[in-house]
Amino acid sequence: MSFFDKMKKGVSDAGSKAKTLVEVNKFRLNIQSLEAEIQDRYKRIGQSVFQSTSDELGAEPAIDQKEKVVVLTLCQEIRARQQEIVELNKKILELNNQKSCDKCGRLNQTEVRFCSDCGHEFIQVVTIDVVAAQTATESDVISCWKCHEPLGQSVRFCGKCGTARP
């Protein structure tokens, strides 16, 4: 690769990284507004329950049917937003070329097949992003005791072949 090509590549890498940052920030803002909407609904549920109680000591809240429907709808709206937040967090991880293990929650690089902490196999194999692979932050690298794949110092399972550390 010529010096000029290298320079061009460097510029486009920086460009795609900046784009990723913009996307991640957009998702983070989405999450923030969803969280605000959730807080708002918690407040409305609380007000509704409060208004249905009287000053009488030990009196049960007297929520009528209409009120109950309102509260249940608010609960559903909260659950829908929580689900959306989960999805957005997944997208943020994908943009950072990471995925979390379904079993133990550990963050792994998207290209690995097996979790580096518990050895759980990821069903979907995502194509390797060369730029992300080059900028992997793992400083100390060891190689797999079986297939010799380069691995981070702290892994307990090889991400490529799934063999446990001896």
CB of 46 to Zn ion, least distance (A): 38
Question: Where does residue 148 fall: left (phi above 0), alpha (psi -120 to 50 degrees), or beta otherwise?
Answer: left
Q: Among residues 114, 144, 155, 157, which is the contact residue for Zn ion, using CB under 5 A?
A: 144
Residues between 36 and 75 that touch Zn ion (CB under 5 A): none
CB of 83 to Zn ion, least distance (A): 22
Say whether residue 77 binds Zn ion (CB under 5 A).
Answer: no
Q: Among residues 13, 84, 117, 138, which is the contact residue for Zn ion, using CB under 5 A?
A: 117
Q: Which structure tokens are listed for 25?
A: 């920030």
- Tell me which residue of 74, 84, 87, 94 sits closest to 35, measured CA to CA: 84
Say whether residue 104 binds Zn ion (CB under 5 A).
Answer: yes
CB of 155 to Zn ion, least distance (A): 10
- Do the strands 98-100 and 107-109 form a parallel or antiparallel pair, or are they unpaired? antiparallel
Asked if residue 160 lies in contact with residue 125, where contact means CB atoms within 8 angstroms, the answer is no
